[in-house]
């Protein structure tokens, strides 16, 4: 299995598991919380068939990557992403994020600029800024995130069980658009993640990406479901599209948070069209 070393913790390396498939213009797919790179399986086949080179990886603390007890902040996550891009010598690449992964996409532009980046894609993204503040009244009260942290500390396995109900809107879309087995498989991946990462990542959801988004100067696609219960479109996708000049916005009707699975045909069609 291929790994890229991005750091050390005491006597051990911090290694990120990645997969690199296909040929053509490369794109890097960055997964959401609390999943791994394999969560892009509905997109992988279509992107490869359309002639793209596709790189997926597991964020530190998740999937087959190392599970250190440090480095769970947006800047470090973005540095990890940059190390993968440099190591694989990617050029003219597209950055595509899902949910929390969109934070790395935004911060990449803020931290490294757009050199070498061909296009950007935000799917069910966390930007621009979730936390409610005096200059961000559309945000969510901090007590909500404190409640999430308490739930994870008390019993993260039970938390994941409730989380995925709203991740897929199971009360509405099961079993026609998402099966019980898919939800269970997602829970299994989440359960295998680092307990430290499961908790520490919550704080990264409060990051302010507004300035980062102003640095996005490549063709951009923003896709979001209008029934997203995890990251409501009014606080996220709609605002992100407005902050990026010329961004193409696609709203998936009745789409939950994980539109990459439940509405994969629509998402894949938009991705292939946008990538050209």
Cβ atoms of 270 and 242 within 8 Å: the answer is no
Q: Where are the alpha helices (DSSP H) in the chain?
A: 41-49, 74-87, 101-112, 142-168, 170-173, 180-191, 195-204, 210-213, 237-243, 259-262, 264-275
Q: For residue 210, count other CB atoms closer than 10 A to its CB.
A: 17
**Residue 134 is among the residues annotated as catalytic for this protein:** no
Q: How far apart are CA 36 and CA 25, in angstroms?
A: 23
Contacts of 163 (CB under 8 A, 6+ apart): 34, 190, 230
Measured in whole angstroms, the distance separating CA 182 from the mean position of its chain's CA atoms is: 18
**Residue 114 is among the residues annotated as catalytic for this protein:** no
Paired residues of 28 in beta bridges = 55, 95
- DSSP, collapsed to helix, strand or coil, labels residue 223 as strand
Q: How far apart are CA 160 and CA 192, in angstroms?
A: 11
Contacts of 76 (CB under 8 A, 6+ apart): 60
Q: How far apart are CA 3 and CA 208, in angstroms?
A: 30
Active-site pick, 15, 228, 263, 264:
228
Active-site pick, 39, 65, 66, 99:
99
Q: Beta strands 12-21 and 53-57: pairing type?
A: antiparallel
Active-site pick, 66, 257, 263, 264:
257
Scanning the structure block, which residue is given the tokens 């068939």?
A: 49
**Residue 228 is among the residues annotated as catalytic for this protein:** yes
* Catalytic site positions: 99, 228, 257
């Amino acid at each position: 299995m291929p790994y890229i070393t991005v750091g050390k913790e005491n006597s051990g390396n911090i290694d990120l598991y990645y997969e690199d498939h296909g040929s053509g213009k490369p794109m890097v797919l960055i997964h959401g919380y609390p999943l791994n790179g394999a969560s892009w399986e509905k997109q992988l086949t279509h992107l490869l068939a359309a002639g793209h080179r596709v790189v997926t990886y597991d964020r530190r603390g998740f999937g087959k990557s190392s599970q250190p007890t440090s480095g769970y902040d947006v800047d470090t996550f973005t540095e990890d992403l940059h190390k993968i891009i440099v190591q694989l010598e990617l050029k003219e690449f597209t950055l595509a994020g899902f949910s929390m992964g969109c934070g790395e996409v935004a911060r990449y532009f803020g931290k490294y600029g757009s050199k070498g980046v061909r296009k950007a894609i935000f799917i069910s993204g966390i930007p621009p800024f979730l936390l409610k503040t005096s200059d961000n009244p559309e945000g969510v009260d901090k007590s909500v995130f404190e409640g999430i942290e308490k739930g994870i500390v008390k019993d993260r396995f039970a938390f994941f069980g409730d989380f995925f109900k709203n991740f897929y809107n199971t009360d509405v879309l099961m079993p026609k658009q998402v099966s019980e087995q898919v939800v269970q498989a997602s829970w299994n991946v989440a359960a295998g993640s680092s307990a430290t990462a499961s908790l520490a990542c919550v704080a990264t959801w409060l990051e302010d990406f507004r300035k980062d988004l102003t640095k996005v100067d490549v063709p951009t696609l923003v896709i979001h479901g209008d029934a997203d219960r995890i990251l409501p479109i009014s606080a996220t996708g709609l605002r992100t599209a407005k902050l990026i000049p010329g961004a193409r916005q696609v709203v998936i009707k009745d789409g939950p948070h994980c539109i990459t699975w439940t509405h994969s045909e629509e998402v894949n069609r938009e991705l292939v069209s946008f990538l050209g």
